[in-house]
């Protein structure tokens, strides 16, 4: 069988490491040419791009801070120019700032909204100008959009909950054009930002029905499904993959 995403072109923001890197490699394995953005550590971004190229596809790394609106627009246009178009946009870039309400800094609030929410809108608005029927937009949200069981996470939860409303509304805008848009909402996932052996891991496991962390491959598999031809009737949805964290 041919790979399910053969001849497709994808952009994954925040794709150099963690969940984003897992998505880049899975989309490449399914046959898609992939661009990824990163903020720093070009060697790590190039390593991910090289891993994608090993599947026989085109891959490129683009330095772009998702908190910078112009950089996001440039990343979309470079993807279109260098890959010949864009069929799949995965908004994976994200930041996490936590503090009690009395101590939460306004600059952290503004950056959280800029990266986790504004960048998603900007990239989507730019990408759909180039997308044809069959286009796919997938946002990496969080199970915390629905459940924040500890103090200090209000602003992060707010930024991810806002994606739920954005996706529901944009599904109406984009459906007549044959473009779907959905959220994937991971729970605790083993990455360098939230390792399965980290200081919060044991506490997080107590909230889960399946008492172990997910892997980046778990999340990437759901993204690959939503990006593929079998998910054409799924739009406006927020799909949780969290080991029962929200159960």
Active-site annotation, residues:
156
Tokens of 77: 């246009």
Distant-in-sequence, close-in-space partners of 140: CB < 8 Å, separation ≥ 6: 14, 19, 20, 23, 90, 91, 92, 94, 183, 184, 186, 219, 223
Give one word for 70, left, alpha or beta, with left for phi > 0 and alpha for psi -120 to 50: alpha
Q: How far apart are the first and last CA of the chain?
A: 37
Q: Please report where in the chains the tokens 């995965």 appear, as a residue.
A: 90
Beta bridge partners of 137: 89, 181
Distance CA 213, CA 204 (A): 9
Burial label, 156 (beta-carbon count in 10 A; 0-12, 13-18, 19+): buried
Distance CA 87, CA 128 (A): 9
Distance CA 200, CA 237 (A): 29
Tokens of 111: 């950056």
Q: Please report where in the chains the tokens 């990496």 appear, as a residue.
A: 140
């Amino acid at each position: 069988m041919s790979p399910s995403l053969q001849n497709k072109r994808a952009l994954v923001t925040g794709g150099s490491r963690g969940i984003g890197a897992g998505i880049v490699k899975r989309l490449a394995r399914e046959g898609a040419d992939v661009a990824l953005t990163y903020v720093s550590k070009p060697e790590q971004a190039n390593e991910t791009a090289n891993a994608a190229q090993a599947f026989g596809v085109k891959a490129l790394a683009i330095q772009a801070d998702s908190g910078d609106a112009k950089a996001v627009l440039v990343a979309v246009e470079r993807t279109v120019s260098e890959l010949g178009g864009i069929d799949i946009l995965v908004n994976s870039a994200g930041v996490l700032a936590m503090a009690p309400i009395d101590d939460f800094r306004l600059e952290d609030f503004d950056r959280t909204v800029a990266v986790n929410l504004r960048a998603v809108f900007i990239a989507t608005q730019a990408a759909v100008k180039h997308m044809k029927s069959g286009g796919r937009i997938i946002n990496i949200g969080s199970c915390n959009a629905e459940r924040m069981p500890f103090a200090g996470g209000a602003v992060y939860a707010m930024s991810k909950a806002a994606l739920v409303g954005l996706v529901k509304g944009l599904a109406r805008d984009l459906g007549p054009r044959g473009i779907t848009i959905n959220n994937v909402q991971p729970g605790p996932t083993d990455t360098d930002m939230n390792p399965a052996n980290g200081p919060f891991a044991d506490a997080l496991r107590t909230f889960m029905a399946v008492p172990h962390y997910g892997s980046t491959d778990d999340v990437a598999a759901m993204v690959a499904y939503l990006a593929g031809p079998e998910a054409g009737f799924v739009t406006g949805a927020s799909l949780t993959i969290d080991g029962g964290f929200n159960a």
